[in-house]
Chain A
Amino acid sequence: MSPGIEQLFFGIAAVVATVSSLLVVTRRNPIYSAMFLIVMFAAVSVIFMLLDATFLGFMQLLVYAGAIMVLYLFVIMLINPREGDLPEESGVTEKSFAAGVALLIFSLLSFAISHSNEVERLSSLGPIPLIPEVSASHGTIRAFGLELFQKHLLVFELTSVLVLVGIIGAVHLASRGRKDRTTASSEAREGMVNPDV
C-alpha cells in the first residue's frame, strides 16, 4: 500500500474516531452512545491495522465491538430505561467544569508531546509506515503468538487469573441480585395469596 493511501485512511479513521467519541459523550439516550462507541472502536481498529498490528486490530473488533458492546446492549435491554428513567443531565456549570478539566488535560498532554525530545527524535526518522522496517510477519497471529507465549507467558497467565476473578465477581453480583428479587416476588405472592385465605 502506498504511503499516500495510508495517510488518507489514517485521516478518515482519526476524524471518524473523534466525531463518534464526541457523540458518545453527548447523546442522551445510552443506545445511541453504544452505537457510536462501536463506530469509534471500528475506527481505532483501522488505525491498529495501519500500524501493522493486524491481529490486534481483529482482536479489537472481536473483543470490544463483538463482546463488550454486546454486554452493554444486553444491560441496556435488561434495564430498558424509559425517557423518564434517564437521569437529568448536568447543568451548564458542571458541564463547563468538566470541559475545562478535559481541555486542561488535553493541553498538558499536547504540551508534553510537542516538547518531548524522544518523540521529536522518533518522528524525525520519517513517517510510521516506512520506519523502522519490520519483517512482513510483524503483527500477524503467528509472530504475535510466539512472542506472547515465549517472552510474556507469566503476564498472560496472570491476566487469565484477572479474568477469572472478573467472571466470579460478575456471576456473584448478578446472582445475589436475582436471589433478592425472587424472595421479594415470593413475599409479594404470599401477600397476594394470604388475603384470599
Chain B
Amino acid sequence: MFSLPALLYLSALLFSVGTYGVLARRNILVVLMSLELMLNAVNIALVSFGRVHALTAFAGEHGGQIFTLMVLAVAAAEAAIGLSLLLVIWRRWNTIDLRQLCRLNG
C-alpha cells in the first residue's frame, strides 16, 4: 500500500480535486486555496520520486526535497501577491466573485 504508485495516485487525485476547485468555484479565495492544493499534490510526487531516487539522482540525495522547498517559496510568494491583488479588487469593486471580473477595463 505504501509504495510509489500509491503515492503517485494520491498526488494525481489531489491535483484533480484542485483542478475541479479552480474551474468550478467563483470565490477567488477558494480558487487560490485550490491552487495551493495543486501545488501540494505536486510536492507529494516530487518528494516520493526524490525518495526512491535518493541514491542515484544527479541532483543529490535530497534533490526532490530541495525542489519541494523551492515550490514552497513559490507558493508563499504566489499567496502574498494573489491575496494583495484580492484585497485591491475587494476595495475597488467590493466583490470576490470571479465572474464579475470578466471585464478588463476599469
Q: Which A positions have Cβ atoms within 8 angstroms of B?
A: 3, 6-7, 10-11, 14, 17-18, 21-22, 24-25, 27, 30, 33-34, 37, 40-41, 44, 47-48, 50-53, 55-56, 59-60, 63-64, 67-68, 71-72, 75-76, 78-79, 81, 85-90, 94-95, 97-99, 101-103, 105-106, 109-110, 113-114, 119, 122-123, 125, 127-129, 131-132, 134, 138-139, 143-144, 147-148, 151-152, 155, 159, 162-163, 165-167, 169-171, 173-174, 176-177, 180-181
| Least Cβ–Cβ distance between A178 and chain B, in angstroms | 8
Question: With A and B bound together, what is the CA distance between A173 and B59 in angstroms?
Answer: 37
| Contact between chains at A87 and B27 (CB < 8 Å) | yes
Q: With A59-B69, A72-B83, A163-B77 in contact, do A134 and B10 touch (Cβ < 8 Å)? A: no
Other than the given A33-B33, A155-B66, A162-B77, 14 more pairs (CB < 8 A) read A7-B1, A30-B30, A47-B44, A53-B47, A64-B36, A64-B75, A87-B27, A88-B97, A143-B61, A144-B65, A147-B62, A162-B74, A167-B80, A174-B84
Q: With A72-B79, A166-B76, A181-B91 in contact, do A47 and B7 touch (Cβ < 8 Å)? A: yes
| Contact between chains at A147 and B33 (CB < 8 Å) | no
Residues of B within 8 A of A127 (CB): 2-3
Residues of A within 8 A of B85 (CB): 173
Residues of B within 8 A of A40 (CB): 14, 37, 40
| Least Cβ–Cβ distance between A98 and chain B, in angstroms | 4
> Looking at chain B's contact residues, is the secondary structure mostly helix, strand, loop, or mixed?
helix
Q: With A30-B27, A53-B65, A132-B52 in contact, do A110 and B12 touch (Cβ < 8 Å)? A: yes
A-B contact pairs, 7 of them (CB 8 A): A3-B2, A47-B44, A68-B36, A78-B87, A123-B3, A138-B54, A177-B87
Q: With A144-B65, A147-B60, A177-B91 in contact, do A24 and B37 touch (Cβ < 8 Å)? A: yes
Residues of B within 8 A of A47 (CB): 7, 10, 44, 47
Interface size class of B (residues with CB under 8 A): 35 or more
> Which residue on B lies nearest to A105, using beta carbons?
B16
Residues of A within 8 A of B92 (CB): 177, 180
| Least Cβ–Cβ distance between B7 and chain A, in angstroms | 7
| Contact between chains at B15 and A94 (CB < 8 Å) | no
Question: With A and B bound together, what is the CA distance between A30 and B26 in angstroms?
Answer: 11
| Least Cβ–Cβ distance between A169 and chain B, in angstroms | 5
Residues of A within 8 A of B50 (CB): 53
Q: Which B positions have Cβ atoms within 8 angstroms of A?
A: 1-10, 12-21, 23-27, 29-30, 32-34, 36-37, 40, 43-44, 47-48, 50-56, 59-62, 65-66, 68-70, 72-81, 83-88, 90-92, 95-100
